[in-house]
Amino acid sequence: MGKPTGFIEYLRELPVDRPPLVRIGDWNEFHLHMEEKKLRNQGARCMDCGVPFCHTGKLISGMAAGCPVHNLIPEWNDLVYRGLWREALQRLHKTNNFPEFTGRVCPAPCEGSCTLGINSPPVTIKNIECSIIDKGWDEGWVLPEPPKVRTGKRVAVIGSGPAGLAAAAQLNKAGHWVSLFERADRPGGLLMYGIPNMKLDKKEVVLRRIELMRNEGIKFICGANVGENVEPEIFLKEFDATIICTGATQPRDLPVEGRNLAGVHFAMEYLAGNTKALLAGTPDASPIHARGKDVIIIGGGDTGTDCVGSAIRQGCKSVAQIEILPQPPQDRQPDNPWPEWPKVYRMDYGQEEAAAKFGADPRTYVTTVKKLVDDGGGRVKELITVEIRWEKNEKGAFIPKEIPGTERSRPAQLVLLAMGFLGPEQSLLKDLKVETDPRSNIRAEYEKYATNIQGVFAAGDCRRGQSLVVWAIEEGRGAARECDRYLMGSTDLP
């Protein structure tokens, strides 16, 4: 700990984002970088405390507390403070294969569990992490590191999202030949098509890392839809082991009148189509476009925020979010103590942009949709919403109850469903005869990752349910470790 009084001397400071009314004019990343002196001061705020919950990675009250990949946060904070950036990068890569992803899209449960955050603003862990890896790329320190010895074992990874990429990277490091199967036209899964470009640049960030992995010896096979143009049997016949990392891609639907009207889409369908058009250099050709439309997004999570930011950039007439849960409080409540994730009100980038353009936070809380109204030609023209209150039923569970007289009509020519995901798609699992749990996720014990089929493992959202990118990376690394142990009898993978 190079600066014992750093947390007293320096205030928390983040880099300035591009102004909302400027950044909505393009699809470039909205974050700006901070000068090195300020970054080093922020690193000095880390207390190297005796209870570093920032890197514990535990679930407390059902939420992540600390970093799921157990980043060595106090160590690289100190190295940054001392200006030892390359050494900081080495420590960062020991636990995280893709800090340029988590440094951009992770909600930073590490900061929610920072000891300094008990009575002061926490250390800017996420920004320092992103700055370390970005400097590593800029300085040319991030280079392909193919294994010196190959084991001769062949491993298939199905799905190239964060869990699949992490599993592939670790297994390749162990010397196995890894083939990564992806049904989309480009690798990356959620990172490529589920998160928009202004939050995570595809060419400069995602594809850059994938190209490095390709140069390390990993084989990417895109357009490979198992069960359609790839026979499921090949994974059991041609590979020594397989890891399933297909994610939880079955979206939660909205069972109300008018659901099948034109103009009503799942959020991921919308986001993926827009990113494909952007990568093709024709953003105006997105198959689902918000230009000149009143857009309503149902769901208040990260995906809903991404839809808000995308709709504004496409030139929507108005944008609103419908959220069934209450608005979070401004400050931690007594039943939400440190080191739990702080359930407090936040304005994410999309809401900031909506407020700058239209004058207010676009979210409406404790409200649900009753009906989608036809314009007479089979397209949606408006929503009927109603306010709700949460009450306990006879079993003690909270359920929503409509408040009579609060119905309201809202204009909408584009409705995006961003209400989360129910689990993995089942066709592949049935083809491989993989057992599922009562939630339809793959049945595989945490930290073991083995399914009921010998040599077949599972990791990420398809095993644990919808979760964070950082949890997917942690699971991919863990599944690789257990797969390596299965193949070799022992493992040196962390």
Query: Closest by alpha carbon to 206, among 296, 145, 300, 278?
Result: 278
Q: Are residues 172 and 113 in the same domain?
A: no
Q: DSSP per residue over 420-459, as a string?
A: -EEE--SHHHHHHT--B-TTSSB---TTT-B-SSTTEEE-
Q: Are residues 437 and 323 in the same domain?
A: no
Is the CB of residue 150 less than 8 Å from the CB of residue 98?
no
Question: Domain for residue 46, yes or no?
Answer: yes
Q: Are residues 198 and 135 in the same domain?
A: no
Q: Are residues 231 and 291 in the same domain?
A: no
Rounded distance between C-alpha atoms, residue 464 and residue 106, angstroms: 17
Q: Are residues 393 and 293 in the same domain?
A: yes
Cα angle 373, 377, 378 (rounded to 5 degrees) comes to 55
| The last residue of a domain, from among 106, 139, 172 | 139
- The pLDDT of residue 319 is 98
Taking the CA atoms of residue 34, residue 36, residue 41 and residue 42 in that order, the dihedral angle to the nearest 10 degrees is 40
Question: Domain for residue 483, yes or no?
Answer: yes
Which tokens sit at 382? Answer: 């408006």
Question: Domain for residue 71, yes or no?
Answer: yes
Question: Domain for residue 494, yes or no?
Answer: no
Q: Are residues 426 and 414 in the same domain?
A: no
Q: Are residues 414 and 433 in the same domain?
A: no
Question: Domain for residue 124, yes or no?
Answer: yes
Q: Are residues 361 and 400 in the same domain?
A: yes
Q: Are residues 239 and 261 in the same domain?
A: no
**Per-residue confidence in pLDDT tens, the chain, 494 aa:** 678 899 999 999 999 999 999 999 999 999 999 999 999 999 999 987 888 899 888 888 888 789 999 999 999 999 999 999 999 999 999 999 999 999 999 999 999 999 999 989 999 999 999 999 999 999 999 999 999 999 999 999 999 999 999 999 999 999 999 999 999 999 999 999 999 999 999 999 999 999 999 999 999 999 999 988 999 999 999 999 999 999 999 999 999 999 999 999 999 999 999 999 999 999 999 999 999 999 999 998 999 999 999 999 999 999 999 999 999 999 999 999 999 999 999 999 999 999 999 999 999 999 999 999 999 999 999 999 999 999 999 888 999 999 999 999 999 999 999 999 999 999 889 988 999 999 999 999 999 999 999 999 999 999 999 999 999 999 999 999 999 999 999 999 99
Question: Domain for residue 296, yes or no?
Answer: yes
| CA diameter of the chain | 71
User: Which CATH number characterizes residue 10's domain?
Assistant: 1.10.1060.10
Rg (CA), the chain: 23
Q: Are residues 126 and 188 in the same domain?
A: no
Question: Domain for residue 354, yes or no?
Answer: yes
Q: Are residues 81 and 20 in the same domain?
A: yes
User: Which CATH number characterizes residue 290's domain?
Assistant: 3.50.50.60
Model confidence pTM above 0.85 = yes
| The last residue of a domain, from among 397, 419, 441 | 419
Tally of domains within the chain: 3
Buried b (16+ CB within 10 A) or exposed e, 288-324: bbbeebbbbbbbbbbbbbbbbbbbbbbebebbbbbbb
| The last residue of a domain, from among 88, 111, 139 | 139
Question: Domain for residue 350, yes or no?
Answer: yes
Residue with tokens 């928009």: 196
The sign one gets for the Cα dihedral 320, 326, 327, 332 is negative
| DSSP secondary structure code for residue 194 in this structure | I
Q: Are residues 172 and 133 in the same domain?
A: no
Domain enclosing residue 59, as ranges: 6-139
- The pLDDT of residue 436 is 96
Residue 121 φ then ψ, to 5°: -60, 135
- The pLDDT of residue 1 is 63
DSSP-derived 3-state class of residue 409: strand
